[in-house]
Amino acid sequence: MDEGARRGVDRLTIQEAARRLGVSEGAVRKRVTRGTLEHEKEDDGRIYIYLDAGDRRGADVGQDTGVDPNNNALISQLRDEVAYLRDENRRKDEIIMQQAMTMRQLTAAPPQEPSEAAETVEEEPERAEPLSDRVEAQEGVRRPWWRRVFGS
């Protein structure tokens, strides 16, 4: 670039450009390597960065200049939504913990005493067949399945 084209542009070292842009020297070097900053390399190996003189923080500080000005409203809305979801998650965790405690209490509860119905002596109804015949019929039910199938 000739001097006429560089009016309104500052020629800075990497260190000065880093301070002006608010980034590290390594970030400026990487931007030079990628070609995102206008620069010039001298014969002695020094690199000079060209930045607009009026722009004290430069346009290349990681801020998107084409961003909608309503971003603050969107960010606020998203923060509110995140807070709501965190509260909802916390509430559901509490419900799950309460259910787990209830389950532990139910499973750890001492066995209930048998009811009075189970303690009463069962009266034997009048039978049409003798007791010995009924016992023999039940023995067939107690046989293993393989004996019933193969007949032993």
Ordered DSSP codes for 85-108: HHHHHHHHHHHHHHHHHHHHHHHH
Give ∠ CA 121-125-126 in degrees, rounded to 5: 145
Give ∠ CA 37-39-15 in degrees, rounded to 5: 85
- Measured between alpha carbons, how far is 71 from 58 in angstroms, rounded to an integer? 21
- Of the pLDDT bands very low, low, confident and very high (cuts 50, 70, 90), residue 79 is very high
pLDDT tens, position by position, 91-148? 999 999 999 999 999 888 666 665 655 555 556 556 555 555 555 555 556 778 888 8
Q: Is the model more confident about 70 or about 130?
A: 70
pLDDT tens, position by position, 8-32? 788 999 999 999 998 999 999 999 9
Sign of CA dihedral 6, 7, 13, 16: negative
